[in-house]
Structure 1
Amino acid sequence: MSVSSPEANTGKRVRNFLIVLVAIALSVALVLGLRNQTSAVSLTHLDEESVPLEVALSNGKPSLIEFYANWCTSCQAMAPDMAQLKQEYGESVNFVMLNVDNSKWLPEILTYRVDGIPHFVFLNKAGEAIAQSIGEQPRMVMATNLDALVAESPLPYAQRSSGQVSKFTAPVTPADNADDPRLHSSQVVN
């Protein structure tokens, strides 16, 4: 059995103390680094800052409606770009956020046939839907569509579904199924 000298024990303690300090410093740096890398923009914040739908439909400006959910990874990934776009186009375009998990928006979910999110609906100044886009879209595509929306020109990237989509199913179906062409094969003919 070997016995350590007091100097050796002190050296081990100093070494262990330094290892603990370095570990703490690295942990703090990691936490701060991750905090800075995560999006400072949340979907909830975008929703809180968005124009209410009633206002958007009546204020004479074109609008972009985004159907989203907090659990949607594509929606989360687009949040920083959407915040930048709102900053750039907010004076000339209404940005409206509608959470598909809120049953209050069920009539709009059914009207615009939302079955994947993010789902974007572009409305002209009169509040009429002129185009839709489904899925995660590059910032440049959204900016180009917004430029066209403001200029009252055809949207170059409308009706696209090329991006990542989170599937969504409305919790109920329309009351009058006869008007829903997606359900025509389930109608009973006598």
Structure 2
Amino acid sequence: MNPNPSESPTNNRFRNILLALVAIALGISLFFSSQTQTSANSLETQAQQSTALEVALSNGKPTLTEFYADWCNTCQAMAEDLAAVKQKYQDSVNFVMLNVDNTKWLPEILRYQVDGIPHFVFINQTGEAIAEAIGEQPRPILEANLDALIAQNALPYANSTGQVSQVERSISAAKNSKDDPRSHSAQVQ
């Protein structure tokens, strides 16, 4: 016999079913809330919301171009921080995302010598690439670089690219000149 009449097998069964339904409902709500948060920060969503490259290079605002891939674990790990940075700087910086798996971007991949991802190219207001950073960038580093980009200062945590001389042309022209002291065929008189 059951000493407590309120705990009949029917009551226990009802309580267990109710607990199971509540647990399932909580599990489903947690799943959907995590999916919503993740999709808002996902690389695909950010790429869809990014500025078109052509617009970014011509609208007079500085630009951060990110070369990425959906399969890149580092790119995915940075997605949440990048979403926050983009939200903070959206009024003063263009954010362009170019997927390296899309052959449409091959000219840009070659132009900016992308050989690892994520690869960030910092472009000034006139559309000139002035610096780059490769690999995972902590949020404070990205923000410091963006602050400097906006202020038109040297970027503290990026490799400067700037202009380069055409050394090869100068050397080959000098090799053909007998009067050039760098020419080994020049004779001393």
Normalising to structure 1: TM-score of the pair? 0.70
Q: What is the letter of the counterpart of residue 31 of structure 2?
A: V
Aligned residue pairs total 154
**Deviation (angstroms), 1:144:** 0.3
Secondary structure, aligned partner of 1:117:
coil
For structure 2, list consecutive stretches of 5 or more residues without a partner in the other structure. 1-6, 161-189
Q: Which moved more, 1:19-28 or 1:121-130?
A: 19-28
For structure 1, list consecutive stretches of 5 or more residues without a partner in the other structure. 1-6, 161-190
Structure-1 residue corresponding to 2:45? 45
**Deviation (angstroms), 1:155:** 0.4
Between structure 1 and structure 2, the one with the greater Rg is 2
Normalising to structure 2: TM-score of the pair? 0.71
**Deviation (angstroms), 1:98:** 0.6
Map Cα deviations across residues 106-131 of structure 1 (whole Å, 9 max, x no partner): 01111111121111000112211111
Contact residue 43 and residue 76 of structure 2 kept, 8 A: yes
Distance 1:13 1:155, change over 3 A: same
Secondary structure, aligned partner of 2:159:
coil
Q: What is the letter of the counterpart of residue 124 of structure 2?
A: N
**Deviation (angstroms), 1:16:** 4.2
Q: What is the letter of the counterpart of residue 148 of structure 1?
A: A
Contact residue 65 and residue 95 of structure 1 kept, 8 A: yes
1:150-169 equivalence runs, <5 A: 150-159=150-159
Contact residue 68 and residue 117 of structure 2 kept, 8 A: yes
Contact residue 56 and residue 63 of structure 1 kept, 8 A: yes
Contact residue 39 and residue 45 of structure 2 kept, 8 A: no
Map Cα deviations across residues 29-79 of structure 1 (whole Å, 9 max, x no partner): 442453366352222222222221112222222111000112222222222
Residue 126 (structure 2) pairs with residue 118 (structure 1): no
**Deviation (angstroms), 1:27:** 2.5
User: What CA distance in whole angstroms lies between the structure 2 residues aligned with 1:154 and 1:82?
Assistant: 21
